[in-house]
Amino acid sequence: MRRGGVFVVLLVLALFLLGMPQGAVAKKPLKIGAVYILSGAFATYGQFARNGINLAVDEINAKGGILGRKVEVTFEDSKAKPAVAIRAFRKLVYEEKVDFLVGLDSSGVALGVVPTLPELKRILIITHAATPDVTGKKCNKYAFRISVNLNQNVGAGARIAAKTGAKRWTTIGPDYAFGHQSWEYFQKYLKKLVPDAVFMEKVAFPKLATEDYSTYITSIMDANPEGVFISLWGGDLVNFVRQANAYGFFKKGYKVLMSLGAATEVLYALKDKMPEGVWVGTRYWFLANPSPTNKRFVEAYKKRYNAYPSYNAQNAYTAIYALKAAIEKAKSTKTEAVIKALEGLRIEAPVGKIYIRPQDHQAILNVTWGKTAADPNYPIRILKPMVTFSGEEVTPSPEETGCKMK
Amino acid sequence: MMETLIITALNGLSLGTLLFLISMGLTTIFGVMGVLNFAHGSLYMLGAYMCLQAMRLFHNFWLGLLVAPLAVGLLGMAIEVQFLRKIYDRHLTLQLLLTFAFLLILDDAVRILWGAGYHTVDPPRLLAGTLKVLGRPYPVYSLFILVLGPAVGLALWAFFYRTKVGMIVRAAAMDREMASSLGVNVPKLFTYVFFFGSWLAGLGGALAAPLRAIGPAMGEKIIIESFIVVVIGGLGSFPGAFIGAMIFGLFDAFGIHFVPRIHMAIPFILLAAVLLWRPRGLFGEEI
């Protein structure tokens, strides 16, 4: 009888313990799923994002995590393909049971993934993909973007272009949504500023990951433009610049703008082969913001990875801190509560002050362009002069983006 | 206008020349051994990385150009001896799977060894500048490739058609069993042929290194282009690889210049046309 009683008590106790909210026993970690390009020609972007995320997570965990919970991140490869990325997100949510999502390098992938988020019921913070549509026509309440988008980057570029005095413009960009949209928005914004600007018939849209740009280069030189707007990025831009150097492209006196020319991975690959005096844009420039937050980030990043941080690293780093701020503001990790907290959130990031606009979930932040220059203190070209535009100036109003938040 | 046409033709021919070297390796391996080597593009990539490594160690491009193809050739040889040799008797799909596996392994290996970022190799000072062609600056390095490619092609032709070893290779390509019964050590020959094909891929990669950004998966595109070249020229045909590569290069360059909107489809239209009207390729043997 007594023995049976002890057994019952133990059983009740066990049931009680199991039934208790698990947080009370040992707080389970907060899980974040991250999807980036981790293989293939653009794998370097995934690596940067991973660097940024790991740095943020280690800093946060060393200070006790988020709401007392440790942060854990699981990475998946998007292979730059929408279908692969969608599968990766499903796996993260249904099998790994992650609480939040971050990621995405390619606009094409983002356009595929964003419409599937309502089915996953998870917040996704986009840190790289720049297509206006994911915080525009295709926006939904689960999708946020912490990074500079195409509108902002190209809008600032058009303001630079307007000041160069060049009137006849052409473009070289990758042959997919990003390249074509960059050119479309560039024309739209420049036309407003310089009504008599001419946009040439002769444009070049080489396929993504093209290796030989010779004929694109000679063809553009043949058409003799005054200004060239280049939206090639990553290895494509490295390839293009080296081959264009060989043809004397940069010595023809064209006004050249490269919307992602100030990406550190490109500058590190090219070093002194990047011509001086070319206008280059980026989504974060490590020397643009003199704030202590940025100094701390650049030092920590350089110490750990032995290079100056690329924009992709900063963006991913900032996404983790934005989640932390929103969760702490909401005092909850419930998706709906964190959405409310992210909307209108203001944080101080290495890139500067960020405000997440509630109407379309796009971050409003400073956008930097600059002219390439050599500096003996840096192994890469840096920006001199540097021009920073405020987010309010270069971001179209929520009505203009076409976003109807559901 | 005339200058533009000539410059465009030069661009096409220099692309064609590089493709020729790579396709030549692919087609030789197929012609002699009957193996379609999916890893060929990755060997090209490895050639570029080896050249990069040699530049870091010796600071001499010419040495890199010598060492990189040799290193890639030796790796190819090891792959043949250790893996391919064991499955010649099995079904063809197994060979495809095996070479595809090496494509994946090599792509990841370079990422682990050299990182995921982009690297560049400077051309030697002698070939760095530009030369005036018809009053326009043209890269000396592209002209160098234009000259070197046909020279290598000619040397290969002389080797295959004017030397005894070349004759043996051709004999083995024509009839493996007959060559074997005439006393040719076919397994050994295969190893050499695989070395040679890989060497050519490595040479292509080392030559491409000063032109192109070196990064993971840089072989993905070239392998598809090389396949198109050898199908157009005829699988296993040496002159076919040359003519096929030049046709590819020229169509690509003129396509970009005149019909940029559809130029990407051009190689595939060419491929489809050849498969429809002359499935064995321009120089292929009757199937």
Chain B from 80 to 139: CB within 8 A of any A CB: 107-108, 111, 115-120, 122, 130, 136-139
- Higher-pLDDT residue of A12 and A54 is A54
Residue whose C-alpha is closest to residue B252's, from A232, A247, A212? A212
* pLDDT score of A378: 96
Q: Which residues of B touch A204 (CB under 8 A)?
A: 256, 260
ipTM of the complex: 0.83
* pLDDT score of A27: 80
* pLDDT score of A183: 97
- Which tokens in the block code for residue B54? 């040699």
Closest to A268 (Cβ–Cβ): which among B11, B117, B130?
A: B117
As a whole number, mean pLDDT of residues A184-194 equals 96
Largest CA distance in chain A: 100
Q: What percent of chain A has pLDDT over 90?
A: 87
Residue B261: band (very low, low, confident or very high) from pLDDT cuts 50, 70, 90: confident
Residue A5: band (very low, low, confident or very high) from pLDDT cuts 50, 70, 90: low
CA of B89, closest CA in chain A: separation in Å?
Answer: 33
Q: How many CB pairs under 8 A join A and B?
A: 116
User: Are A146 and A276 a contacting pair, CB within 8 Å?
Assistant: no
Q: Is the pLDDT of residue A22 over 70?
A: no
Do the chains contact at A243 and B107, CB–CB below 8 Å? no
Is B237 touching A (CB cutoff 8 A)? no
* pLDDT score of B92: 84
Instruction: Give alpha helix (H) positions in A104-149.
Output: 107-113, 117-120
**Interface mutation vs chain A, best among B10, B42, B108, B118, most A CBs within 10 Å:** B118
Residue A2: band (very low, low, confident or very high) from pLDDT cuts 50, 70, 90: very low
Q: What percent of chain B has pLDDT over 70?
A: 99
Looking at the DSSP assignment, which residues form a beta bridge with residue A367?
A: A389
* pLDDT score of A7: 53
Do the chains contact at A46 and B252, CB–CB below 8 Å? no
CA-to-CA distance for B121 and B114, rounded, in angstroms? 14
* pLDDT score of A4: 53
Do the chains contact at B212 and A216, CB–CB below 8 Å? no
The CA angle B247-B248-B249, to the nearest 5 degrees, is 95
As a whole number, mean pLDDT of residues A55-64 equals 97
Beta strands A227-230 and A168-172, pairing class: parallel
Q: Which residues of A touch B208 (CB under 8 A)?
A: 211
Of the listed ranges A58-62, A226-230, A326-330, B188-192, the least confidently predicted one is B188-192
- Tens of pLDDT along B201-236? 999 999 999 988 898 888 888 999 999 999 999 888
Looking at the DSSP assignment, which residues form a beta bridge with residue A310?
A: none
Q: Where are the domains of chain B?
A: 2-277
Q: Is the pLDDT of residue A12 over 80?
A: no
Q: What is the pTM of this model?
A: 0.87
* pLDDT score of B287: 53
Beta strands A363-364 and A352-356, pairing class: antiparallel
Residue whose C-alpha is closest to residue B239's, from B23, B14, B18? B23
CA-to-CA distance for A342 and A329, rounded, in angstroms? 9
**Interface mutation vs chain B, best among A218, A232, A238, most B CBs within 10 Å:** A218
- Higher-pLDDT residue of A21 and A361 is A361
Neighbours of B182 (CB within 10 A): 11
User: Are A383 and A371 a contacting pair, CB within 8 Å?
Assistant: yes
As a whole number, mean pLDDT of residues A379-394 equals 95
User: Are B68 and B205 a contacting pair, CB within 8 Å?
Assistant: yes
Write down the mean pLDDT value for chain B.
90
- Tens of pLDDT along A26-38? 589 999 999 999 9
Closest to B212 (Cβ–Cβ): which among A206, A216, A239?
A: A239
* pLDDT score of B250: 94
Q: Which fold has domain B2-277?
A: ABC transporter involved in vitamin B12 uptake, BtuC (1.10.3470)
* pLDDT score of B169: 86
Do the chains contact at A242 and B220, CB–CB below 8 Å? no
Is B220 touching A (CB cutoff 8 A)? yes
Beta strands A363-364 and A227-230, pairing class: unpaired
- Tens of pLDDT along B121-155? 988 988 988 888 888 889 999 999 999 988 998 99
In chain A, the domains with their CATH numbers are 28-148+289-365 (3.40.50.2300), 151-282+368-394 (3.40.50.2300)
Of the listed ranges A15-24, A248-257, A369-378, B2-11, the least confidently predicted one is A15-24
The dihedrals phi and psi of A68, each to the nearest 5 degrees, come to 80, 0
Of the listed ranges A202-216, A349-363, B70-84, B191-205, the least confidently predicted one is A202-216
Of the listed ranges A24-38, A186-200, A261-275, B263-277, the least confidently predicted one is A24-38
- Tens of pLDDT along A117-140? 999 999 999 999 999 999 999 999
CA-to-CA distance for A149 and A164, rounded, in angstroms? 23
* pLDDT score of B238: 84
Q: Which residue has the tokens 């993905």?
A: B220
